[in-house]
Structure 1
Amino acid sequence: MSDLLTIRNLAVSFNGLPAVDRIDISVKPGEVVGVVGESGSGKSVTMMALMGLIDAPGIVTADQVTFNGVDLLKASARQRRKIIGKDIAMVFQDALSSLNPSYTVGYQIKEVLKLHEGLRGAKLHQRALELLDQVGIPDAKSRIDAFPHQMSGGMNQRVMIAMA
């Protein structure tokens, strides 16, 4: 069975200082891999590099970064957008800072579903409710119209998981 995700010799530096140094990761379809380490050890930077989210002055180098047969090092921005957020997503520890306080959690989930699943109307609303229910949000029908500040940190974290 071929790898779903392959990362070879990934390195990230900021202003010449290494943040990630020669990481190799392989993930097969259906396999679950956890990335653990101390605060500041490069977990988030590694995953952000995978998704192409490192901006200057960061420098990302790698021998290989492929997902489901797509070379992410050579993929166009359009090709990457089809994968990032749909097939590869990151749930940050501080969900409240990742959610937009000006929009309801339902709106934010629906935006992801519109973009990546092409859903509209009643199907879109129903799918958003299903996702909130799947991640254990109590009373999803009333919570879908809540703003992030009206929910607990744990519930916001679940909203981020539903979006991912």
Structure 2
Amino acid sequence: MTVTMQINGRKVQVQATPDSRLLDVLRGELGLKGTKEGCGEGECGACAVLINGQVANSCLLPLGQMENADIVTIEGLPADSPLAASFHACFAAQCGICTPGMMIAATALLNEHPQPTLEEIRWGLSGNLCRCTGYGRIYEAVLQVATGAAHG
């Protein structure tokens, strides 16, 4: 089957079986390696993308449901954004497996709530697991953007 989608602002057509995972299509067919596979079960958030503005785990989504979807991966986020600068300044990324999903979730949170509280940040990122940082630096990075303290 052929599926037409908008990915990172570009219209693409992909030919694959309807049950192909979106994650595999992004990484394998389209070469968008920033979206990571952590658990393959929708538990860790490493494969998070924005679909029509909402956070979704791409490891759980069949390609057959993506017709006309507007998808944003980590590659579609501005590299020079305040969020990227804040992640860098706060040392919020270590091994890098969770970082794309964290940044996608943080983007969705900040789009919906431009000035979230620390508690709202914790809730907004709760679908993403990190095994390296203990979350403190990640929360700090997002909070800096929310309060305007980040530079970028």
TM-score, length basis structure 1: 0.25
- Greater radius of gyration (CA): 1
Using CA pairs under 8 Å that are at least 6 residues apart, name the structure with larger relative contact order, 1 or 2.
Answer: 2
TM-score by length of 2: 0.27
